[in-house]
Amino acid sequence: MWQHKEKRIIKQFDSSFSYLSFFGGRRLLILVPHQDDEINTAGSTIIGAVAEGLDVHIAYMTNGDWDYAVPLRNNEAIQAALYMGISKENIHFLDYPDCGSDEMSVYEHQDSVFIYRDRQISWNTLLQDIRNLIEMIRPDAIICTGFDSHRDHRQCESCVLSVMESLWSKGSTTRLYTAFAYGTAYESIEDWWAPHWYSTKMNPFAHPEYLTTPSENLQWDKRIRIPVPLSCRHKRLVKNPLYLGLGCHISQAAYRRSTRLINSDQVYWLRGPERNLQYKNEYLQIMIDNHFAYDWYIYGGELNPVVSVYYGYETGGCELSSIDDKIIWYCNGDIIENGSYYSIHTYMLNHNLTTVCVRCVLANNPAVFCESYIHKKSYFYWIRFVYDYIINKIKYSLDHHYRKRAYKEIRKLMRNK
């Protein structure tokens, strides 16, 4: 399992958010088409859920054999899963072809039967294999890859949703969440190098102009946002577990995408079941300028930030104003009038503070809370940002040189098509 240490002290941010509560149980299944999509789709969730003690399973729909022989990418996936703390018994391969073209795609040819690795495969066999897997694991929740541009990703969402609709009709309460591996990760915006830790963005070129996501069934403003664990906010890129986890997928040089998918939140869409959607497990996350904020430095010359709260639950979420009476605010343990930056800044001035611990609590349920640290505006933070930026670039360049050599060696094993 991942481990790391930092020379400087990291504050242990506190929140009532729980993966166990959010997913409604202890068993979670990540079901993705390719080896590396588990991190693209749910990297920080896997790491956070394992750390909380959930029983996490990962299933790969294809063998990743478009460019390489079958064992290679499967072995990379095993290494990545083991790194994240998942045992071999919880890693599953469904043994379908990686379809870079549609010649062997059971999704593109749903009425056809193919011979693949000495067995017959078809759309119906894939549906049955998915159903058998779910009935064997009996997960409380499933995360699968959403309707991305790749046919295997569309295949993943379509078949899992079809199987779950059948199971829901028979009384299953297993929740299904989908997320995009391309639009919010593989093809997302490379904003990790920016001064602030920003939330997940959808690449505007990853979908048609008339849609907000690649899927007409999923709207961007309907996404569910959950926080990410402390380890996945490591400020040294080459020590961030998401970077290191992607690094296990050597053949894909996947680590190069880490700056696109390391964000301050993880986003999902709930697909069902449609009944029993009355939420019970609430959580809060302080936001600054609409980004999930854990430790927010205000740089000299920046405008005063807008503070708000994300009020989430397992089926949805919404933004609450800093002056909403549903929320009680504290600064360093003292109640303040509201959570506006003016109120927080006034408290800092009155107490001669440069940093303050801001806590928000749900008025009707004090057990639901979140804490963040806000640092007073200063030009010194620009100096520190530039220093950290340079150190990060140097360390990344050195690490990249090592990983690039390993990637070139693996490329020698590519299949001749």
Residues recorded for the chain: 417
**Cα gap 166→160, rounded to integer Å:** 10
pLDDT digits (tens, 9 = 90+) for 215-243: 888 999 999 999 999 999 999 999 999 99
- 337, 350 in Cβ contact below 8 A? no
pLDDT-based confidence at 361, cuts 50/70/90?
very high
pLDDT given for residue 274 in this prediction? 78
The alpha carbon torsion through 124, 126, 132, 137 (nearest 10 deg) reads -150
pLDDT digits (tens, 9 = 90+) for 56-100: 999 999 998 999 989 999 999 999 999 999 999 999 999 999 998
pLDDT-based confidence at 276, cuts 50/70/90?
low
pLDDT digits (tens, 9 = 90+) for 32-47: 999 999 999 999 999 9
**Cα gap 163→321, rounded to integer Å:** 40
Mean pLDDT over 315-320 rounds to: 93
Mean pLDDT over 343-365 rounds to: 96
**Cα gap 77→66, rounded to integer Å:** 15
pTM of structure? 0.93
pLDDT-based confidence at 277, cuts 50/70/90?
low
Q: What percent of the chain has a predicted confidence (pLDDT) above 90?
A: 85
375 pLDDT exceeds 80? yes
Mean pLDDT over 99-124 rounds to: 92
More confident site: 417 or 238? 238
pLDDT-based confidence at 309, cuts 50/70/90?
very high
**Cα gap 130→33, rounded to integer Å:** 12
